[in-house]
Homo-oligomer: A and B are copies of this chain.
Amino acid sequence: MHKEHTLTKNQQIIFDLINKSSEPMKAYSILFNVQKKGIKAPLQVYRALDKLVKIGKIHKIESRNAFIACHNSSCQVANATAFSICEICEKVTEISSASLSKYLANFKDKDGMKYSKYNLEFFGLCKKCDTK
């Protein structure tokens, strides 16, 4: 079963914004967009983002310092994320591939060490940009 997290007011406002967005959002762009709803300070944004990341509702795209909503059934895999990033238009897509996640979840390094968590970012050209 899957424990539902009840979001607080700030968390809900910020999640809704990110979830509606078609592209990853940066913290200060989020801040700008929620100021009319009473969220005035960076810290309010970062605190909500931290929590949303922790519970898997959003993910951070580390190479871009930006945040995207999880579209992986709200995410059972907060600890196992993979994205494709277009280097021209910056379109970001969450990859959900059973074989990929299986491969990585079972990956052991030389010393036989297994990992509890990973983040993978692929770079290339999206379909649209590739044909230009």
Contact = CB atoms under 8 A, between A and B. Distances in A.
Q: How many copies does the complex hold?
A: 2
A64 B93 CA distance: 22
A119 B117 CA distance: 14
Specify the main secondary structure of chain A where it touches its partner: mixed
Nearest to A126: B113
A120 B123 contact: no
Residue in A62, A110, A111, A122 with the greatest tally of chain B CB atoms within 10 Å: A122
Interface residues of A, number: 29
Given A62-B62, A62-B63, A63-B62, A115 B123 contact: yes
Interface of A: 62-63, 84, 87, 93, 95, 97, 100, 103-104, 107, 109-111, 113-127
